[in-house]
Amino acid sequence: MATVSFKGATRVYPGTDLAAVDALDLDIEDGEFMVLVGPSGSGKSTALRMLAGLEEVNEGAIFIGDRDVTNAPPKERDIAMVFQNYALYPHMSVADNMGFALKMQGIHKDERAQRVQEAAKLLGLEEYLDRKPKALSGGQRQRVAMGRAIVRNPQVFLMDEPLSNLDAKLRVQTRTQIAELQHRLGVTTVYVTHDQVEAMTMGDRVAVLRDGVLQQVDTPLNLYDRPRNKFVAGFIGSPAMNLIEAEIVEGGAKVGDYVVPIARDVLAKAGDDTTLTLGVRPEALHLADNGLPVKVSVIEELGSDAFLYGTAEHTSDQIIARIGTRLHNDKGTVVHLAPDPDKLHLFSTSTEERLV
């Protein structure tokens, strides 16, 4: 096991001016499950491939433990990678797939068999060891790919969107298994996903990237409760945070005819801006007599909860509110929603950084 450190690590692809990963500084603790998350093109997979030695590092450095591996070939980094497409050999049995890397290292067949058996037991694959990959389900193939990584006893696991080929139900089940397995093995793990729900439920900490730049790294709950900027606020959380531009007025922020009360010292942090962005989580909105008028588009009933989707009458912004009680409103009905004052998130219009 080992720590992992990116020190100003930068990757610029030939023929482009913008960095795919721009001066990434990130320290990952020994045994930590770190998730890199962001939209398509954010640089998360490139960062992982830089750590794996599959992409060149144009500037900066990468360390595994105390060792600078910036220019080391992949085979010398003591890492094991799990790919999105499993990358299994179709002509080999499950056992041979799992033990292939050990065979290439010249490890005796008895030790190989023992390691494969231990990993198979850990992953519930014992009865499938003699089968070929084509005889397995997607979830079983993913576990074989995991087993192939585990038998190598690497210092670091790297996982590049390993669940994206699975259906929704199996994805939820498998992500729980991976998180539990990583906790039991205690191996430092760097996991890439575009799915922020996956990131929130699996990671000890989550690093959010945008256009190659690290936006924030923190625990899932801290990302949710204290997003550093407007992008992180809108990206983390499902359904997404409501982000509404409001005019700064005496005593608060005005949306249409509705004024959200905000302390004067907080408003002063907006500087010369005449507007700010109000961030409100769906669960922080409640039905009220005096609130933001919202025209109902649809009520999504989930049994224990209901989500109201609508349009703010004065701004045309889509608004999502989690309504604890079952609400039977026809499409087009206007309701009034007010935010819980202690659950407001405020962001600068000019910098998009958090004000409070």
Is there a single domain that holds both residue 71 and residue 29? yes
- Domain end, chosen from 203, 234, 265, is at 234
Domain that holds residue 309: 240-348
Q: Which residue has the tokens 């998009």?
A: 352
Is there a single domain that holds both residue 51 and residue 157? yes
- Domain end, chosen from 197, 215, 234, is at 234
The CATH number for 284's domain is 2.40.50.140
Is there a single domain that holds both residue 252 and residue 229? no
What confidence tens digit (pLDDT) does each residue in 21-64 have?
Answer: 999 999 999 999 999 999 999 999 999 999 999 999 999 999 99
177-181, 225-229, 330-334, 343-347: range with lowest mean pLDDT: 330-334
Whether residue 22 is contained in a domain is answered as yes
Whether residue 353 is contained in a domain is answered as no
Measured distance CA(311)–CA(326) in Å, rounded? 19
Whether residue 354 is contained in a domain is answered as no
Task: Give which of 327, 241, 251 is closest to 284, Cα–Cα.
Answer: 241
Inter-CA distances, 83 with 30, 144, 229, Å: 22, 11, 31
* Tokens standing for residue 76: 């010398």
Whether residue 355 is contained in a domain is answered as no
Is there a single domain that holds both residue 198 and residue 255? no
Whether residue 205 is contained in a domain is answered as yes
What confidence tens digit (pLDDT) does each residue in 161-210 have?
Answer: 988 888 888 888 888 888 988 998 899 999 999 999 999 999 999 999 99
Q: Are strands 252-255 and 4-11 parallel, antiparallel or unpaired?
A: unpaired
Is there a single domain that holds both residue 122 and residue 169? yes
**Which pLDDT score, from 0 to 100, does residue 313 have?**
84
pLDDT range class, residue 356, cuts 50, 70, 90? confident
**Cβ-count burial of 322 within 10 angstroms (0-12 exposed, 13-18 middle, 19+ buried)?**
middle
pLDDT exceeds 90 at position 302:
no
What confidence tens digit (pLDDT) does each residue in 255-267 have?
Answer: 989 999 999 999 9
Is there a single domain that holds both residue 171 and residue 130? yes
List, edge to edge, every strand of the sheet that includes 213-218.
Answer: 79-82, 156-160, 188-193, 33-37, 205-210, 213-218
- Domain end, chosen from 190, 216, 234, is at 234
**Total tally of structural domains belonging to the chain:** 2
Is there a single domain that holds both residue 140 and residue 196? yes
94-108, 212-226, 268-282: range with lowest mean pLDDT: 94-108
Measured distance CA(110)–CA(218) in Å, rounded? 43
Count each helix (H run) and each strand (E run) in the chain, helices first. 9, 19
Is there a single domain that holds both residue 49 and residue 182? yes
The CATH number for 17's domain is 3.40.50.300
Is there a single domain that holds both residue 130 and residue 192? yes
pLDDT exceeds 90 at position 216:
yes
pLDDT exceeds 70 at position 68:
yes
Is there a single domain that holds both residue 195 and residue 297? no
Is there a single domain that holds both residue 113 and residue 49? yes
pLDDT range class, residue 329, cuts 50, 70, 90? low
Mean pLDDT of the chain: 92
**Which pLDDT score, from 0 to 100, does residue 200 have?**
94
43-47, 324-328, 349-353: range with lowest mean pLDDT: 324-328
Whether residue 356 is contained in a domain is answered as no
pLDDT exceeds 90 at position 225:
yes
Whether residue 332 is contained in a domain is answered as yes
What confidence tens digit (pLDDT) does each residue in 85-142 have?
Answer: 778 899 999 999 999 988 988 899 999 999 999 999 888 899 999 999 999 988 888 8
Is there a single domain that holds both residue 196 and residue 155? yes
* pTM of the shown model: 0.91
Does residue 95 contact residue 133 with C-beta atoms inside 8 Å? Answer: no
Whether residue 65 is contained in a domain is answered as yes
Does residue 199 contact residue 237 with C-beta atoms inside 8 Å? Answer: no
